[in-house]
């Protein structure tokens, strides 16, 4: 399992992903789920993946190879993110790679009783465009965050959703969003064994046109520990401070 | 969908269920999901259901009919909860009724592409026994809360789980447990349209051998409103009070 969050705010994009991959509970390992493609001052893409690891790695490889083949005279078989005119084009480009992997693998997976299942969050900016955030489904169709939407989640999203709903708006600061992403991630890690650290926290400030901040946060990270303990303590205190019900009669 | 919680504490049992039933998002209605069977000073059973409403109603009817037929000379076709020697027997009795409904309906459901899906929380006490709490699955097998377990959930459980994990232990008071159940319910109601009020809150104090308190809490209930607003405000304050991360560099 996996948990990824992408938040689209007035000031920038904040994205976070866990690093746990499991094939059954007896086969747990650590794989980072974030990939950055950037050409500073021109464009930046942050891609986070959930679902079948073989599929998401294949998609990322196709995207990388297309960029590497560009200008070398080699045939470009997959569409190139660096040729995308808009973020919408970039999302279609990721979608094309998903479809290519699906064509190659889906039937074979099905013969083993497995479903083709991979999804992505794509956040970023191309010079001349605003910051944009997409949620790309296994069928390669996708939705974009609009003025009413400040975040997308993929993977094991339920445990960490209530705090996002209560706190995050488009006007939230990047610091608030990063803090909230870590609290949401912590709630998920506590409740689901298949989601685990380290956490990749990636930030793209509006108009930076590159990754502004990327931090790999493990369980021992002092700030993450402070947030985890502080949040737990604050919840217990808030709970204690609320009035008890009258259970007489 | 449904959300039910059952908590087994040193002082008693606290159970809560929502009242929303939906057959698709365009067909939402209100059905209470709690049934009480009691013979004061001898035994009390609180049953909460999740899953297919036709199945859970059928199970409850079989249980009711068996009790009604008792002593009338009518043939008792289903096992009678009031004949159970122990809570373990009572859980088997509920399981027998689930199997009876499964025998009658499962094949027919399958022909319509539907899965037989019903589960129950059964909490209560029989004179001479401690309070006990069971989680009964669609296959009619079941698990019992042990010393390490203070709660079970059925239905849409994920949104409301983090607060339970942080607050509830066997030593929690009944007031704390009821408060926590309502907060957990509120988080779920906020995040899932298919879970909704009124909320049935049922309490059985240890050795009372009857329902000690049963309250139907709608969205306008003053205490529930106080808890909902107070919890939201406290979360936002706790969030604000935590230190922001340093996102420089």
Write down the domain spans for chain A. Answer: 3-239
Bridge partners (DSSP) of residue A39 are A43
Per-residue pLDDT of B30-48, as tens digits, reads: 888 999 999 999 999 999 9
Is the CB of residue A222 less than 8 Å away from at least one CB of chain B? Answer: no
pLDDT of A164 reads 94
Rounded to whole angstroms, the Cα distance separating A142 from A88 reads: 10
Superfamily of domain A3-239: Aminohydrolase, N-terminal nucleophile (Ntn) domain (3.60.20.10)
Contact residues for B81 (Cβ-Cβ < 8 A; gap 6+): B37, B43, B45, B63, B66, B67, B90, B93, B94
- The β-bridge relationship of strands A213-217 and A20-22 is unpaired
Query: For residue A51, what are the CA distances in angstroms to A34, A57, A70, A136?
Result: 13, 10, 29, 12
What is the per-residue pLDDT for B237? Answer: 94
| H-helix or E-strand spanning residue A190 | helix A174-191
pLDDT at A1: 80
Alpha-carbon distances, residue A71 vs A40, A42, A74 (angstroms):
18, 18, 7
pLDDT value for B23: 74
Q: Can you give the pLDDT at residue A22?
A: 80
pLDDT at residue A76, as a whole number: 59
Query: Which residue(s) pair with B179 in the sheet?
Result: none
User: Residue A81 has what DSSP assignment?
Assistant: G
Give pLDDT, residue A140: 96
Confidence tier at B78 by pLDDT (50, 70, 90): confident
| CB contact burial A176-189 (16+ within 10 A = b; e otherwise) | bbbbbbbbbbbbbb
Q: Residue B243 — pLDDT band, cuts 50, 70, 90?
A: very high
Q: Is the pLDDT of residue B177 over 70?
A: yes
Closest CB to A245: pick one of B161, B175, B212.
Answer: B175
Give the number of other CB atoms < 10 A from CB of residue B1: 16
- The sign of the dihedral angle between the CA atoms of A198, A199, A205, A208 is positive
Residues of B in contact with A178 (CB under 8 A): 244-245, 247
Judge contact between B7 and B162, C-beta under 8 A: no
Rounded Cα–Cα distance for residues B90 and A95 (Å):
54
Instruction: Tally the residues of chain B.
Output: 249
pLDDT tens-place string over residues A26-41 = 788 888 899 999 999 9
Under the banding of pLDDT at 50, 70 and 90, the label for residue A25 is: confident
A64's tokens:
């990388």
Classified as helix, coil or strand, A217 is strand
If you ran DSSP here, which 8-state letter would residue B149 be given?
-
Q: What pLDDT, in 10s, does the model give residues A177-197? A: 999 999 999 999 988 888 899
Strand order in the sheet with A118-126: A34-39, A43-51, A118-126, A132-136, A142-144
| % residues pLDDT > 70 (chain B) | 97
Count of Cβ atoms closer than 10 Å to residue B211 Cβ: 20
Please give the CATH architecture assigned to the domain spanning B3-241.
4-Layer Sandwich (3.60)
Residue B246 pLDDT more than 80?
Answer: yes
> What was the pLDDT predicted at B22?
80
Interchain contact A216–B (C-beta under 8 A): no
How many angstroms separate the CA atoms of B33 and B55, rounded? 12
| Model confidence pLDDT, tens digit, residues A74-94 | 665 778 999 999 999 999 999
A75 touches chain B (CB under 8 A): no
CB contact under 8 A, B236 and A167: yes
**pLDDT for residue B2:** 93
For residue B24, pLDDT over 80 is answered with no
Bond preceding residue A198 cis, omega within 30 of 0:
yes
Of A178, A183, A235, the CB nearest to B163: A235
Q: Is A88 helix (H, G, I), strand (E, B) or coil?
A: helix
Mean per-residue pLDDT of chain B: 93
Residues of A within 8 A of B163 (CB-CB) are: 235, 239
Residues of B in contact with A241 (CB under 8 A): 230, 234
Among B202, B183, B195, which residue's Cα sits nearest to residue B155?
Answer: B195
pLDDT tens, residue by residue, B128-141: 999 999 999 999 99
Region A221-237: mean pLDDT is 94
Q: What is the pLDDT of residue B249?
A: 64
Give me the count of residues in chain A.
249
Confidence (pLDDT) at A42: 97
Q: Which residue has the tokens 């866990």?
A: A18
Q: Give the pLDDT band (50/70/90) at residue B111.
A: very high
Closest Cα in chain B to A249: B213
**Has residue B118 got a pLDDT over 90?**
yes
Say if A214 is an interface residue toward chain B (CB within 8 Å): no
DSSP state of B244: P
């Amino acid at each position: 399992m996996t948990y990824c969050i992408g938040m689209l705010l007035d000031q920038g994009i904040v994205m976070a992903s866990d690093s746990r991959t499991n094939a059954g509970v007896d086969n747990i390992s650590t794989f980072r789920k974030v990939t950055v493609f950037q050409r500073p001052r021109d464009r930046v893409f942050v891609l986070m993946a959930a679902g079948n690891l073989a599929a998401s790695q294949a998609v990322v490889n196709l995207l990388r190879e297309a960029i590497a083949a560009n200008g070398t005279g080699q045939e470009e078989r997959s569409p190139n993110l660096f040729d995308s005119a808009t973020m919408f084009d970039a999302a279609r480009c990721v979608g094309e790679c998903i479809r290519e992997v699906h064509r190659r693998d889906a039937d074979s997976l099905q013969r083993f009783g497995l479903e083709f299942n991979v999804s992505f969050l794509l956040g970023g900016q191309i010079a001349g465009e605003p910051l944009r955030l997409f949620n790309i489904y296994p069928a390669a169709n996708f939705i974009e965050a609009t003025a009413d939407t400040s975040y997308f989640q993929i993977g094991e999203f339920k445990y960490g959703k209530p705090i996002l709903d209560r706190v995050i708006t488009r006007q939230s600061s990047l610091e608030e969003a990063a803090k909230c992403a870590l609290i949401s991630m912590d709630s998920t890690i506590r409740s689901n064994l298949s989601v685990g650290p380290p956490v990749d926290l990636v930030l793209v400030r509006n108009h930076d046109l590159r990754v502004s901040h990327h931090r790999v946060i493990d369980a021992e990270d002092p700030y993450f520990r402070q947030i985890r303990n502080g949040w737990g303590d604050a919840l217990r205190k808030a709970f204690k401070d609320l009035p008890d019900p009258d259970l007489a009669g």
